[in-house]
Structure 1
């Protein structure tokens, strides 16, 4: 069982906020559990103000999600029939298919493989970057 230590948390926050190779425009949480507000109260101060401002909690309201990101962004083929006509089947059919596929041996073997200690980074042998950048590339003035 992996335990999240303060050092590991620090590395994860640095990766998420500074090294993740994608631009995060918003983080939309839907049907978040009751303890999520308490967890965000603890984790929030470690996030940059930019990331914190881009996090949106929707509770259980699909209307809020559609107002935030728009229904046209969600692919029709993945939406249950209850949301936009005949597409992927009813919600209960989709859940049953997912449970069936998750109980297959092939899926379980895959999850056991990727969640083991087989993959990872040994931070101790990683080359440390000793140079620091004082400006971003956007601010460089080139003659």
Structure 2
């Protein structure tokens, strides 16, 4: 999982409250039916790093070991994730990520 915070503003972060964070952590660790090879944060601002330092003690060891903070250093991301599968937006070889296509698939599958 690659989480790109390049479009995430400080203003948006005010909507992330402790209850929401607890639900996200619980969902990721205990409810989501997938195993992640890694959770990679890129372009994260300082307040995301601060939030992660508060959350980290509540994470299971297996999850803690899979979290990587790369900042603006995409070369560090490429050490973990092949460029072959990354979208062009992240310097990869795959086509640019199309959020509209993703939304269309989700909506059509929900009806």
- The TM-score normalised by the length of structure 1 is 0.47
Note the aligned Cα RMSD (angstroms). 3.3
The Cα of 1:73 is off from its aligned counterpart by: 2.0
Whether 1:30 aligns to 2:42 is: yes
State the structure with more CA Rg. Answer: 1
1:112 corresponding residue in structure 2: none
Q: 1:21 to 1:84 in 2, by over 3 A?
A: closer
Q: How many residues align?
A: 86
Among 55, 62, 72, the residue aligned to 2:67? 55
* Distance in 1, Cα, partners of 2:55 & 2:29: 13
Matched, 1:45 2:54: no
The CA deviation string for residues 17-72 of structure 1, in whole angstroms up to 9 with x for no partner, is 11111112100011101112211111111111111110001111111111111212
CA 1:71–1:84 in 2, change beyond 3 Å: closer, same or farther? closer
What TM-score comes out, normalization by structure 2 length? 0.59
Secondary structure of 1:71's aligned partner: coil
Are 1:79 and 2:88 counterparts?
yes
> Structure 2: how far apart are the matches of 1:29 and 1:3?
17
Counterpart CA distance in 2 for 1:3 and 1:70 is 31
TM superposition shift of 1:3: 7.3
1 or 2, which has the higher strand percentage?
2
Give the unaligned 5+ runs of structure 1.
89-93, 102-106, 108-143
* Pair 84,66 (structure 1): closer, same or farther in 2 beyond 3 Å: closer
